[in-house]
Amino acid sequence: MEDKLVTLAIHSFEKAQILKTILENNDIEVYIHNVNLIQPVVSAGVRVRIKESDLPAALKIIESMKFSLEDEETQDVVSSKMVLVPIDFSEYSLQACKFAFHYAQFIKGEVILLHAYFSPFFSNPLPVGDLIGYSASEELAMKDVLAQVNKDMGNFKNIIQRMMEKGDIPYVKFDTVIREGVPEEEIIRYSREFTPALIIMGTRGKHQKDLDLIGSVTAEVIDRTRVPLFAFPDRTHLDKLEDIKNIAFVTNFEQRDLISFEYIVKFLEVKQLNVHFIYFSPSKENAWNEIKLAGIKEYFTKQYANITITYKVIKGENVLEKLDEYIQNEKIDAIALTNKRRNVFARLFNPSMARRMLFHNDTPLIIFP
């Protein structure tokens, strides 16, 4: 039986060629599909494909070489007061924009609306060597794609301006950016270049198809960003910071959780806030977890007089279902948690808690890298 091809990664043309060279030097056959021959150096969703039997070896090589966007060097830039909003011109993108403009007014910053479009110029699964040219009609089709993207961005910009005029959102300086490439790659790359104070992304929530658990752009950015991110389900009721009264903070008793909590306090700066510390306990009986949560409650109660703190240990299996019930009962407005950066094996075979929560409920998530 012939060994079928699987997609190992989606990268820019330049980066895909580097990966191809590395793998072929280790005796792994590599095929590059969906190549944009008109502008090959522009990121356009190039697929790096290999034989399924070579997948374990290829993943091991990637890990050892640390060939991923997370390992690229970044400039030492002071965090700006720019709020980055990746958009796809959908209703839930518009919902995210509402919150973004209110938050930008709060921090006296600006909003950047970023749209990254994927141009699958060649749909046939042919190796790069087999693609020897392109026709005038194909070049015209590609120009049509860009023209449509510019038109959609112009319409979206007009909607934002009308909302400002009607008073639905505050007058805040904003700009639009269009990039060609794989959306999650371009969002991460832009955030590395300009270091926004916050990324705000719309998502479709728990009613989206199971397939989206693998391919959601928001989920991919959550797993890879170094910038705090606010994920906005389309069915949320939040429009501005003042709407957040009850927040659930998922903790694992790590030092970085305390740092994230400090950020939450500065991020919200509301007069009165209810914080629910939540710990997922794998065992049904663990008194030590209760003691640690009680200690956290006592510490933060002394530090922040305007915050009411409670805690909850969710035990056993089906923790997401139990969390869902707790969110409904306590009327939680948002969930905050720290998301560890993990290697490709962990992301592939064991989705992070943040990713699973993104698809499980319709409550906004505040993610700290």
**Tens-digit pLDDT profile for residues 105-160:** 988 999 999 999 876 554 444 444 444 444 555 555 667 888 889 999 999 999 99
Residue 333's SS3 state is coil
pLDDT tens digit sequence for 160-218: 999 999 999 999 999 999 998 888 889 999 998 888 999 999 876 444 544 343 347 88
Number of domains into which the chain is organized? 3
pLDDT of residue 87: 92
pLDDT of residue 90: 84
Q: Does residue 256 carry a pLDDT above 80?
A: no
Residue 287's SS3 state is helix
- Tell me the DSSP string of 64-99: HHT-SGGGS--------SEEEEE--SSHHHHHHHHH
Domain boundary among 203, 233, 263: 233
Look up the pTM and report it.
0.70
Same domain, 170 and 212: yes
244, 334 contact by CB (below 8 A): yes
Q: State which amino acid sits at residue 197.
A: A
pLDDT of residue 109: 93
**Owning domain of residue 55:** 5-67
Give a yes or no: residue 240 inside a domain. no
Give a yes or no: residue 344 inside a domain. no
Neighbours of 105 (CB within 10 A): 17
Which has the closest alpha carbon to 61: 17, 28, 14, 15? 28
226, 368 contact by CB (below 8 A): no
Same domain, 50 and 149: no
pLDDT of residue 84: 96
Same domain, 119 and 165: yes
Give a yes or no: residue 238 inside a domain. no
Percentages helix, strand, coil for the chain, rounded to the nearest 5? 45, 20, 35
Q: At 19, which CATH number?
A: 3.30.70.1530
User: What average pLDDT does range 301-328 have in this prediction?
Assistant: 83
Q: Which ranges constitute the DSSP H helices of 269-360? A: 287-303, 319-330, 344-349, 353-360
Taken in order 266, 251, 331, 363, the sign of the CA dihedral is positive
Same domain, 168 and 296: no
pLDDT of residue 153: 95
Mean pLDDT of the chain: 75
pLDDT tens digit sequence for 70-119: 444 434 334 578 999 999 888 888 888 999 999 999 889 999 999 998 76
pLDDT of residue 356: 67
Q: At 260, which CATH number?
A: 3.40.50.620
5, 32 contact by CB (below 8 A): no
Backbone angles phi, psi at 134, to 5 degrees: -145, 155
Q: How far is CA 72 from CA 26, 224, 237, 328, 362, in A?
A: 22, 12, 37, 41, 33
What DSSP character marks residue 167? T
Give a yes or no: residue 361 inside a domain. no
